[in-house]
């Protein structure tokens, strides 16, 4: 069981992670791959997958925000 306040804090931390870490690491990896000795086709595939990951994170962030809104409005205090 977890109290509402703690759950909202953890969800807020998750949003921050989605916003920062994935985007930052994705950009760094794209730059490293672009200038590496990896074959162009393989590099393009990796970069495409990193973009998909970055876009998926936007969806995750939206779902978490929706969950935060729902929990915030709820009268329930323990989950």
Q: Where are the domains of the chain?
A: 39-71
Lowest model confidence (mean pLDDT) among 1-5, 8-12, 55-59, 69-73: 55-59
Say whether pLDDT at 21 is over 90. Answer: no
Residue pair 26/72 in contact by the 8 Å Cβ criterion: no
DSSP 24-60: HHHHHHHHHHHTSSS-HHHHHHHHHHHHHHHHHHHHH
Q: Which residue has the higher pLDDT, 22 or 13?
A: 13
Q: What is the DSSP letter of 2?
A: -
Q: Which residue has the higher pLDDT, 18 or 10?
A: 10
The pLDDT, as a whole number, for residue 12 is 95
The pLDDT, as a whole number, for residue 10 is 96
Residue pair 17/61 in contact by the 8 Å Cβ criterion: no
Say whether pLDDT at 48 is over 90. Answer: yes
């Amino acid at each position: 069981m977890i109290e509402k306040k703690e759950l909202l804090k953890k969800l807020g931390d998750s949003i921050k992670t989605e916003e920062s870490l994935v985007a930052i690491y994705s950009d760094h990896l794209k730059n490293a791959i672009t200038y590496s000795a990896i074959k162009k086709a393989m590099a393009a595939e990796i970069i495409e997958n990193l973009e998909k990951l970055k876009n998926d994170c936007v969806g995750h962030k939206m779902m978490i925000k929706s969950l935060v809104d729902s929990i915030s409005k709820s009268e329930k205090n323990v989950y």
